Structure formats: structure tokens, C-alpha cells
Chains A and B, each alone.
Chain A
Amino acid sequence: MSLKWRIAIIFGLIAASFWTLFPRTVVERVKRNGEFVYDTVRRVPLKRGLDLQGGMHLALEVDESKGPVADKSKAIDNALKVVRNRIDEFGVSEPVVQKAGNDRIIVELPGIDDPRRAQDVVQKSAFLEFQITDKTQALEKALPRLDALLKGKTVAAAVATPGVKKDTTASSAGLQSLFTADTSKKADSAKTDSAKAAAGTIGGPGAFSKLVQQGRGMPGEYYVAQTDVATVTQYLALPEVAAAMPPGKVLRWSSDTVSLGGRVYRGLYVLDAKPIITGEFLTDAKPNTSPTEGNLVQFTMNNEGARRFRTETGRHIKDYMAIVLDQRVMGQPPVIQSAIGANGQITMGGKDLQAAQDLALVLRAGSLPVPLKVADVRVIGASLGQDSIHKSIVAGSIAIALVVVIMLGYYRFSGALAVAALVLYILYTLAALAGFQAVLTLPGLAGFVLSIGIAVDANVLIFERIREELAHGKTVRTAIDEGFRHAMSAIVDSNVSTALTAAVLYQYGTGPVRGFAVTLLAGIAASMITSIFVVRTFYMIWLNRSRDAQTSLSI
């Protein structure tokens, strides 16, 4: 290859590198005043991994704690679509949502500053159901059965909730009579009624019934003191209790609590098991704020959904309809005044507007077909990433300075050629990383710093060979030729074996380690080009400058 061509190739590579690395204008989502907007920014097109720019990495898998899932791979495929929709709407710049292996979803959210909220958005099942509250007093009828069942377990319960025991002894009224009394007082204001109930009427003979009391007059509504919620949940989870529950009904907790007479209660609702309609017909959901009801989410159904909703609600006029999200009753079930069509709303209780926004988002994106749990999570603060980059640059600069001193000190002029090649090495490696859109990680940066030390190895091998040839009395020109030729096999073999190791790392590594492997591979390629091709060309230029006049070589 003629010298002209060699020089042309080197300059071509330099030009290409500058072109790849030149800061360019890209459209990306950036955060402005707390909102993500599309904007154009100018930056060097080097991708930083989560550990360098901060952000969140989540691995999710199917949660089988609530029952086995038959085809996990398919379930994950379906869940993936939903999660992707949600993340797209959540507003993060360059998110990654992908399937890993057969049964896992990887979510990467760069620059996230509220990881818990992000996780909620990803994990929320968002399964919406509309269910009519029970009018048949099914729970009251089942209470004696339940109490009998739990008789043997009463002791444990009493130990578990010592606070309750005191209340129980203070009251004497029977539960059944209490209920009748309550329903007869329907006309009374709900507040005073419940307050009275809270003040003196908890209790009863049975283990279960003493924990549960009548609500505010709505059929199917009950209150459980917040302190007893855990106990009742335990009871309900018992298989024999589940079997004794009234058929065709389900019990659902309320999403928020009420404070009555100084005590905090959580609503427990008995609902018809079959929902009149589910969220699958939802086409849109928007957050809103109403002066009377606070924050809420307004939703719209498609035609089919609206038709069913109208028919079903028309059949249940004067009944109460619970809006159940992920098995929690949202707000107070409203009474159905007349048939409801395509539009409806979910009140958020005391939650803030952001909660309403997030709920609207997950409702729009659709419900998760299976519950997901977090298999692994990493959250890195943005400042930590900045710090890592800064430190890596310091370490890299010092490494370069030391290597330059060693090479110049030992090989003089030839060392200077190697240093020039090292500059090109750094340029080419970075360009390769940018060009292949490789992700730069902290171990990757460390690998890059290390590779600066290793990159000159090929030069050292060549220079030592040239020295040997010169020692054998060869002319400068022949010594250089022979030196390159003899060093070649060692350079190729050692670099290829390192590249193979890097390939294995890439295959089996995760996130940061993958970044390391990519940097290593780019470095090996660049080092081969610079030490063999570029330095050789430098020598050729030097030899050409004064024809055969070069009788000695500074090496």
C-alpha cells in the first residue's frame, strides 16, 4: 500500500471519528419545570449508562404469590406491552423496556428522581371493576358461622390485638341487635350515627363479629378499626373462613380510611362477586380537580362499554356501585341515580393531583395481565454518576500522563510516535463507542483507562523487535520492516485471545459489565489499528523525508 493511501486512510478515520463525536442536535425528552417535554439539545453522542447518569433499573417478574401462572412467557409478553405503554406516557428520556430471558422484564429509566413513584406506575395492576354492594345482608347471615369457626382461634387473636380486648369488655350490646338498630336509623346523619357506633357499640360474642361493625347505612358497608385490619385480613385469608363466606359475594377493603370519634377505621365492603363491567372498555382517563370532591380521574368508555354500563346501571337504580381498583374500593361507593353512560369518575380521596395523574396514566395504558414483582432494582443518584465521570477523567488523565512519560523517556523519538498513535487510539476508541451506540458504564470507563496502559503493549513489542534487528546490524529501514513483521504474530494472538474473553463477558455480563466488555473490544480494535498501521505509516513518512539518509533511529 502506498504511503499516500495510508495517510489518506488515517485522515479518513480521523475525519470519521470527529464526525461521529461532534456534538449534534438531538431531540430528546428533557425535564422542565417538573414536566417532561420534547426538546432539542446539543451533546456529544456518547451514551451513558445508568451508573453514570443516574436513574433506575428494574427487573420485574411474574408474582405467583397469589396463584400460579400457567404460561409465564406469554404473560410476560402481554405485561411488556402494558409496561411499555405506561413508561412511554410516564415521560422519561430514552427509557428501555425489554424482555430478558423468558420470564423477566427489564425497565431502565435514566434520570428518574422519584423511584418509588416510577415503580408504582410500572407495578400497579390497574384492574378496574365496577361492583354493586351487597343488599342481602349476606355477611350478617354468615357471621355466626364465621364466629363459630374462629372460636378456637380467638385466643391467638386476642393476643395479637390486645387493644381490642379492652373495648370488647367495655361493651355489652350484641352484634345482631346493633345492626338492626343501625339500619333503622337510616335517616339520621351518617356522621353522628357512625360516631355513636364507634363510641360504644363495638363488640359482641364472636371473634370475628366483634372486630367488624356496621357502616354508615349503605348496604354492604362495614368498618374495621385500623388497628384490627391486619387481624381481619388474617382471618379472611384462612381457607375455612373463605369457604364459609357467602357465595357469590366478595369482601374488599376500602382504599382510604375514615376517622370517627377519635378512632381511625377502614371500610370493608361486601360486593357482588360478578362485576357489572370492568376497565377493559376504557378508552380515556384524565386527572381533574373538583372543588367539592377534590382530585379525581374522569374516564370514558368505548361504545360497547357505554352500552353495557347503561344497561347494567339501569338495572341497579338506587343501588350502590363500588369502583374497585386492584381489589380496593376507591372512595365512597356512590348511589346510582339513573343509568350511567360512557363517562364516569373515580374520586381520589385525600390523595394529591399527581396520584390522580398516575392513576389516569395506568388506566389509559391498560391493566397488567399478571401481577409483577421486583426481582432486582438499582437506583443511582445523578450526582453520584457525575462524580464517577469526574473521577474517571482525573484517573484517565493521570494514566495518560504517566504512560507518555514512560514511552518518551524510554523510546525517545519512537516513543513520540507511539504517543501520537495513543492520541489517535483514544479518538478512535471513543468514536467506535459513539458509532456503535455502545453504552458507557463506570466499569467501562475503568476498562478504558486500563486499556491506555495496555494499548502501548503492541508498540513496545514492535519497538523491542526493531531494537533487536538494529542490534543484529540491520539498516534502519530493514530493522523497522523486520521488527513489525516479527512482532505481528504475538500481537495478533494476544489481542485475539483478549477479544475472545471480552466477547464471553459481553455474552454473560449484565449492564455495567457489558459496558466494560464493549469498551474492551473497541479498545482492542483501535489499538491494533494504531499500533500496527498508524505507527508504521509514521515511520514510513519519517524514512521518506530524506530518502536513504536515515542511518540511525532514535528508539
Chain B
Amino acid sequence: MSTTNGNLLEVKDLRTYFELEEGTVKAVDGISFELKRGETLGIVGESGSGKSVTNLSIIRLIPSPPGKIVSGEILFDGQDILLLPEAAVRKIRGRRIAMIFQDPMTSLNPFMKISKQLMEMTQLHLGYTSARAYEHAVKMLETVGIPDARARVDDYPHEFSGGMRQRVMIAMALSCEPELLIADEPTTALDVTIQAQILELIREIKRETGTSIILITHDLGVVAGMTDHLIVMYAGKVFEQAPTKELFAVSANPYTKGLLRSVPDPLIAQGDLYQIPGLPPDVAHLPSGCPFAPRCERAQQICREEYPPFVRVNVDHHSLCHFAREVYEESLHERKF
């Protein structure tokens, strides 16, 4: 496996726009990040903040038209995916970059047996014979903890529960031992107990195989224990980017702080739950200043007029805010108590 400076994935200034009748929607607007082998990256943000579009861009699955990757580079193992021909990208999809989708109820083909869907991967990418692919499918189901896998492998998706379907999706994604696993809100559609099991499974798999993972979620609780680095997205832009521990401890962005405050803490009796005032902006009509300014508690005149800078407040810790340093200092101060 050739590596260039240890990064499996480097995204540089990725911009994915959607040309709609009501204007250009800048779903992802200049996002950059790196992912080393064996690391887990979390991407957090509200609905519509561009998390999923980022990841669909990585494997070039943006519906086009209306979607278009306007600029940027996506270097996967040193190779710019955006410059590859479609056939070459198809060889990467599933084989080297696998995805787990949000809703396991709709992500499996209702008319295909589980075995067929699992076998397709290895037959397609690894050239397995159907007998070998079948055995592999059974093994993968056992790996992800489906009881009595051999008996269930020929079932149809509707005979599986939500949690089990998500396990099947994970088994499918892992069949070819991908180098990068993109999990797009893998637990959103599941209830809390199953959620914990699936997360534990992903964590286990990561420990066993050393796969790099991008975990997209809007649940801060999910990323807290799972990721090494964290990206907070808002309105298609990276608002804060930091190692997970640092971001939770000393956030340098008012939006991140707002997000952290909105998580209910069962250990502290609270009155009303905190919520960030206002609604996420319409990405088709962004104000000229900071996109978060209308909802920000500490917004000043400058926030409404000038686009904020991407400030480096610490090693590996960046924040998109006019007052990044001040917020960072504040967080450090709060932490002392």
C-alpha cells in the first residue's frame, strides 16, 4: 500500500454546488480535511449543513444534474478521485471506499435475498465464484453478529429487524475490506439500544482491521467516544476543526458551543433545554457576512458584514469566527472551574 505522507484521504477546498431554479445552492463550500490511515474522523452538523454531500462527493455520487463538484481535489491514496474516469471510480467504490447509509430500512433491495446482495460485492470486486462468495457472505454475517447466519442468509430484507439490517449493511460494506469506511448517520434510524450495539460493532471493526472511518452524524454523543478528529459543519462550511477531545473541552466557535450546550445532560437537572435560536439558513441565499451571525449570541456588526476568517487557535485546531481567539480563551477559562 503506497502512502503519501501517511494520509489516506486528503480533501482540499472541495466545493459542491447545486444549480437549482431558485439559485445556486452551495451545499459544500470550500471544505478541506485530512484523514490518516486508521483514524476516525467525525463530521457533525445540522440537517442540510452539507455533511452527506461531502461524503457523496468523495465517491462521486452527487446526483448530476443538478449537483456539480465545482472545484477542489479529493486525493485518495495520492490519487485525485475527481480526475479518474467513471469506470475507475466504480472500482474504488465498495472495494476501497465503502459506505454505510442512514436508513437500513430502505438501503437494502427488497427484492434481493440478503445472500445475493452480499455476494454481489465480492463477485464484482474480488472475482469470487458464487460458492466462495456465498461462504464469504455467511462469514460476514457471523462477523457482524447475526445469529444463525447460515439459516438467515437466504432471507429477504423484510424478514430482518432494523438493527439486523444495519448489521447486514455493515457486513456488506466490509466484505471487500475497504481502506475507508464512510458511515453516513449509521445509527440515526435506530433506537438507542441498537444504536449502542452498532457503534460498538463499528468500533470493534475499526480496532480489528485498522480501517479509516468517516462518521457523519448530528449526534454529538455518538462522535464523542468514537472519533479522533472532528469537523463541525454549518451551511456548507467548516466552522470548527479540531481533535475530538480538544473540541469538546475547549471549543473556539460559538456555534460548536451552542451545539454542546444543546445536548441534554442527564446528570444535571436542567430546566428548559437549551436551543440555538433561529433556524438553519437557506443555503441558496446566504448573507454576505458570517452565515451563523443571525443566530449567534455574540454577533457584532462585523459578523454581519464581513465573512469571518478561518483562525488557527491551536495545533490542528481551527475555527471560522471573527472572535475565535476570544471564544477559545473563554472556553479555557470556563474549563478551569
Q: Do A and B come from one complex?
A: no
Q: Which residues of B contact A (CB under 8 A)?
A: none
Q: Which residues of A contact B (CB under 8 A)?
A: none
